[in-house]
Amino acid sequence: MLRIRLERYQALHDGLRWRSVTMVIGGGLATVVGTFGLVVGILLLVVPSDDAFPWRAGLVVGLFIGLFPFVAGIALVWRGIERRVRLGKFRELVAFGGSRTSFEAADLVATLQLSPRDAHLLVVDAVSHGLVFDDGGPSPPAAPSFRFQPETTPMLPLGRSVASGHAPTQLGGAAAASLPGPGAPPPAMRTAAAASPEAWIGTVLNDTYIVDTLLGTGGMGAVYAARNRRTGRRYAIKTLLHDARLEPDAIKRFEREATAASAIGHPNIIGVHDFNETRDGVHYMVMDLLDGETLEQRLSKVGAMSWREARARGLELTSALAAAHARGLLHRDLKPANVFLARSPDAAGRSVDRAVLLDFGLVKQMDDANVSRITATGAAVGTPMYMPPEQARGEQVDVRSDVYGLGAVLYEMVTGTPPFFDRTLASVYAKLLTTQAPPASSLSRRPLPPAFDHLLACALAKTPAERFATMPAFARALASIEPTESRAAG
């Protein structure tokens, strides 16, 4: 399996960029000198003269001051352009492989739209520059794809609200020693469950939900597919351990995730149907079980979306966020991992995607005093690659902070990379606070409408006053681009 050396990328990037610029400039000067020498040499050759000296001088000047420098200059310009193209390929390779534990050359074929031969040559080139190395390990198993099925029957009393699509949390500790209710595992199995999330499969939560399969694990719990033992209806259940390792406010965040937006009732916000705690202190929430994958998983496969698809998903997300804002709620953690692409058949029986907003664990009421991204311990929470500058500084946030987060997600949809990407979090924070993101059209492999660059520049502005004032204003600007420009841009 192949791995990326992120610590090597910046030096390699700077070196290749400097050499490419030097070669293009040097080659251009040599081409100009060579052109001048060719002209002088030709003039000396064609000027009538009884003396042989002008003819000999013309031949020497034409060859050594004209032709040779001209050919060398063209070769240098070509090599400089080649290095610039190589730098772009390395940037795409780092964006693709930097967020993965490991990958194979075959994974680059579909994601970077390369032929198998070009993918192999790119890996060989990256290895020769020390950017990629082979750890000799086996191929990892495929990441699980969450399956959520939309509800078609009445919801439980909690109603339709928000839920988490975070990489769920890993179970561990004494809190997972047992589960109450009929069908609970024997003591030996309950002991294993403390260390293994898979051991929960087959157990029953509070005499109601039978845990069927493990969908995914994370740092503080897990997400399972489960069914109601009385109705047979299937759900997704997210668990959170009552563990001493958790922050003091972790359970409060979990409860807030389950209840804060329960009154929104929006088709692009996942529904939460129950929230409870077992007698052993295991908190869990019961959510819609949908069929599909997260936007993060989709982008890891395809690299980037078409403009039309990104626009459609973006309009769905602006609608969801506008509904949350109308209830006085800020999401504060927008990123591809928190957007689920639910698959369902349309009227013609074709499978279509629907963006569903996940994870309101960081949701805040807008009228909370000094709403910020700083916890009681003084630590900033969230994801810096999608975090607006004011949140990174711990300042007060409002709806325009969600505008920035959605702008960053849209940016990655069409480019395959976040607005700010670097090898260390410190570098990401530095770019986030001091530099402007490059235009999406400069990174996208497909042509984009010119107005799309302007829209993202507005959404990703450093100061909130320069952004769209509301989510509906963002939606109107996004929708207005489509009629003529999207057809021209593809």
DSSP symbols for 271-312: -EEEEEE-TTS-EEEEE--EEEEEHHHHHHHHSS--HHHHHH
Instruction: Please count the other Cβ atoms lying within 10 Å of the Cβ belonging to residue 241.
Output: 25
φ, ψ for residue 82 (rounded to 5)?
A: -60, -40
**238 known ligand binder:** yes
Rounded (10°) CA dihedral 73, 75, 80, 82: 160
| DSSP SS3 for 154 | coil
Cα–Cα dist 245/172, whole Å = 10
CA angle 13, 14, 18 (to 5 degrees): 120
| Count of C-beta atoms within a 10 Å radius of residue 248 | 9
Is 353 catalytic? The answer is no
* CA pair distance 187, 81, nearest whole angstrom: 67
Give bridge partners of residue 67 from the DSSP assignment.
Answer: none
Of 333, 353, 402, 422, catalytic: 333
Tell me if 282 sits within 8 A of 176, measured CB to CB. yes
Q: Which residues participate in the annotated binding site for ATP?
A: 238
Q: Which residues have a catalytic role annotated?
A: 333
Q: Which residues participate in the annotated binding site?
A: 238
